[in-house]
Structure 1
Amino acid sequence: MGRGIAKSGRYVTAKEPIPHEWDARHLRLAVSAAGVALWAWEVDTDQFTMDARGFELWGLPWRRSVTFEELSAHIHPADRDRVRAAFAATRAVLGYYETDFRIMVGSEIRWISARGQGEDAGIVGRTMFGIFLDVTGRKQAEEGHELLAGEMSHRVKNLLAIASGLTAITSRSAVSAEDMAHDLTARLTALGRAHDLVRPLPHDQGSAALLGDLISVLLAPYDDPGAFSGRIRVAVERMGVGERAATGLALVIHELATNSVKYGALSEGAGTLDVTSATEGDTITVTWIERGGPVVDAPEAPSGFGSNLVKRTVSGQLGGAIDYDWSEGGVIVTLKMDRQRLAR
């Protein structure tokens, strides 16, 4: 006897009918609990019939049937041709298939997984059957993991570049190998403290820091204790930065400092950096001015991961915008933020 489900001392095989205790009502409850939407596709007329869950999933009022073309109008434009081709090919697919795509429900984007069996398996009266499943949560988690992996890779590369830059800065002011080792260790330790600010703080710590203290701590590893001591100057207004905004702002400052060490004023011994602020209404503007470094030009290539991450952080977390002026004397970065967002 084939494999099956144990019941009353015997096995119910796949070929045997479902026990009478499992009636249509029980099956409907199981389907509803799983969040599954049922569909039937009449392959000759291209008519789709869905249950109430299916129409709810697509954000449509219930009716007896809907055409595939009508459903296609709600598929994300970037996925529409692919989904049409996938459905057309399903009848030739051997075995089970699964196609994931995005649909537009008003301003909301949902991820749908369409599943069924191809090669006309199980077709009844020219009608094929399958399910729709809302997989938005899974897709968002996957996108979050990809973003995290990209950010971690970006940070590791930046840390290696920063370590190289700090070694070069330290070597210019050290008078002996021992002094250089001591200063470099101190810088790397400070960098570790600054790096801690680029992650969320425990909720019981209240406001993260004062704006000036936060920026100063982040930039401390890059200042020169030797002949060019004090080349980084921070003069911003006294205001608190909330714990939610601190991570985003720290990430932005960390990215700007990294770029400066790699390409800008902080890569040169005589380079200077001034960070100031001004307030107008509900907006605080932080200005980052580099001078004395190598000549800089506006990048010709599309923005990299770091630049995109900064823009997304500034607009999303801090409710503002960031602008770059590639002036002859050095880059000037203008960071506009919403004061209320910054204080959260």
Structure 2
Amino acid sequence: MTTTAEHLKPLLWEPKNLIRAVEAAGVTLWSWNVDTDALAMDDRAYDLWGIPRTKDVKFEDLSAHIHPADRDRVRAAFNATRSIVGTYEIDFRIMIGDELKWISARGQGDDEGMVQRLMFGIFIDVTGRKQAEEGRELLAGEMSHRVKNLLTIASGLTAITSRSTTTTNDMARELTQRLTALGRAHDLVRPVPGQTKAASALLGDLLTVLLAPYDDLGAFSGRIRVSVPRMSVGESSATILALIIHELATNSLKYGALSAEAGTLDVSCSAQDEKVTIVWTESGGPLVETPSAAPGYGSRLVERSVTGHLRGSIDYDWSKQGLIVTLNVQPERLAQ
């Protein structure tokens, strides 16, 4: 009695069904005469390489389409195929006009599959897979870079906080507040899937999120007022601004306008071609006295952040009516 599988076997080997299988797999066929260097390819292979179907092809004709950086490697690999035991596979890039494709060439080495001086193999377009691999590598590199940056920042904040506090509870509280400020800034500039441009946030949104914890009524409506033009802040600068704003707000909450019920804080900004000026103005708090002691670690962190990454300057006006801080930064640095 003939089984269903045995009944289907003859259909499997019919030429038209083999062609259907090859097309479904997305492969193209080639044969190579090792003596004359002539190549024979199916129509799909001609289309893959961007070569007219009527043309007699030799390896050098294909070589002209191979990416210059891969050409010598591919030529050496093909010349070595006859000494390779078993199957071989090589991936390389080809250029069709301005379009770049990734091709995988596969075959049988060691003359094992040779018929009448012909070797046989297939080409597969693996462009999609290669692009996905490159995307994963870029993402892994970017994640590694970000993690290293965050660990460096966290390490520096830990050292600064340990020197500026006297108890473990104070250290834990202040360090948590600083890291939380960084987290809020990071959430605003976090890239989203499919995003092609560099991550950024609006300056007004960033300031609002960072200052909201210090105002019971919320920024823009309570005693904290923010008025800035519409401009973008890049991911790196958002992290730096988060540190600066947190230090200023924390000091204001301890000693300045935010420590008094009637105290107010105004944050304004003006933008010109050569600089962006952010002005932090406190009023209604305790009378201000110019500090006589050396700047603390938090103040030094702010100074280094402004002059370092932002390539700007920060000035303090210890007016008795309230502290005024003027921050000048380069627009191109703010966007990074």
Name the aligned partner's letter for residue 181 of structure 1. Answer: A
Match of 1:237 among 229, 245, 256: 229
Name the aligned partner's letter for residue 152 of structure 1. Answer: M
Match of 2:93 among 96, 99, 102: 102
SS in 1 for 2:229: coil
Deviations 1:117-146 (A, max 9, x none): 001111111111100000011111111111
Shift of 1:30: 1.1
Shift of 1:43: 1.1
Q: Judging changes above 3 Å, is the alpha-carbon distance between structure 1 residues 158 and 202 closer, same or farther for their aligned structure 2 residues?
A: closer
1:159 alignment partner in structure 2: 150
SS in 2 for 1:60: coil
- Distance in 1 (CA, whole Å) between partners of 2:85 and 2:61 is 27
Deviations 1:87-142 (A, max 9, x none): 00011100000000011111111100000000111111111110000001111111
- Distance in 2 (CA, whole Å) between partners of 1:44 and 1:166 is 70
Structure 1 portions without partners, runs of 5+: 1-6, 13-17, 221-233, 242-248, 262-273, 280-284, 298-323, 338-344
Deviations 1:2-36 (A, max 9, x none): xxxxx716769xxxxx6255311111111111111
Name the aligned partner's letter for residue 164 of structure 1. Answer: S
2:235 alignment partner in structure 1: 251
Q: How many residue pairs get matched?
A: 260
| 324-333 or 93-102: bigger deviation | 324-333
Matched, 1:140 2:165: no
TM-score by length of 1: 0.62
| Paired residues of 1:39 and 1:50 also in contact (CA < 8 A) | yes
| Paired residues of 1:286 and 1:335 also in contact (CA < 8 A) | no
| Paired residues of 1:38 and 1:54 also in contact (CA < 8 A) | yes
Structure 2 portions without partners, runs of 5+: 212-225, 245-267, 279-300, 315-327
- Distance in 2 (CA, whole Å) between partners of 1:24 and 1:133 is 20
1:22 alignment partner in structure 2: 13
Q: Judging changes above 3 Å, is the alpha-carbon distance between structure 1 residues 9 and 30 closer, same or farther for their aligned structure 2 residues?
A: closer
Name the aligned partner's letter for residue 334 of structure 1. Answer: E
Q: Judging changes above 3 Å, is the alpha-carbon distance between structure 1 residues 192 and 331 closer, same or farther for their aligned structure 2 residues?
A: closer
- Distance in 1 (CA, whole Å) between partners of 2:56 and 2:62 is 11
1:301 alignment partner in structure 2: none
| Paired residues of 2:33 and 2:117 also in contact (CA < 8 A) | yes
| Paired residues of 1:215 and 1:253 also in contact (CA < 8 A) | no
1:334 alignment partner in structure 2: 332
TM-score by length of 2: 0.63
Shift of 1:214: 4.2
1:79 alignment partner in structure 2: 70
- Distance in 2 (CA, whole Å) between partners of 1:238 and 1:127 is 68
Shift of 1:336: 9.1
SS in 2 for 1:74: coil
Superposition RMSD on alpha carbons, in Å? 4.4
- Distance in 1 (CA, whole Å) between partners of 2:239 and 2:112 is 55
Name the aligned partner's letter for residue 293 of structure 1. Answer: R
- Distance in 2 (CA, whole Å) between partners of 1:168 and 1:217 is 28
- Distance in 1 (CA, whole Å) between partners of 2:12 and 2:143 is 53
Q: Judging changes above 3 Å, is the alpha-carbon distance between structure 1 residues 127 and 76 closer, same or farther for their aligned structure 2 residues?
A: same
Map 1:1-344 → 2, pairs under 5 A:
8=3, 19-20=10-11, 22-171=13-162, 173-174=164-165, 176-200=167-191, 211-216=202-207, 237-238=229-230, 250-253=234-237, 277-278=271-272, 292-293=303-304, 334-335=332-333
- Distance in 2 (CA, whole Å) between partners of 1:40 and 1:109 is 24
- Distance in 2 (CA, whole Å) between partners of 1:75 and 1:179 is 64
| Paired residues of 2:237 and 2:334 also in contact (CA < 8 A) | no
Please identify the structure whose Cα radius of gyration is greater. Answer: 2
- Distance in 1 (CA, whole Å) between partners of 2:108 and 2:128 is 24
- Distance in 1 (CA, whole Å) between partners of 2:174 and 2:334 is 35
- Distance in 2 (CA, whole Å) between partners of 1:288 and 1:147 is 35
- Distance in 2 (CA, whole Å) between partners of 1:288 and 1:117 is 68
Q: Judging changes above 3 Å, is the alpha-carbon distance between structure 1 residues 119 and 287 closer, same or farther for their aligned structure 2 residues?
A: farther
Q: Judging changes above 3 Å, is the alpha-carbon distance between structure 1 residues 94 and 165 closer, same or farther for their aligned structure 2 residues?
A: same
- Distance in 1 (CA, whole Å) between partners of 2:229 and 2:172 is 36
SS in 1 for 2:28: strand
Shift of 1:327: 9.3
Shift of 1:195: 2.5
Deviations 1:214-272 (A, max 9, x none): 4437988xxxxxxxxxxxxx985225x7xxxxxxx6534357779x99xxxxxxxxxxx
| Paired residues of 2:310 and 2:334 also in contact (CA < 8 A) | no
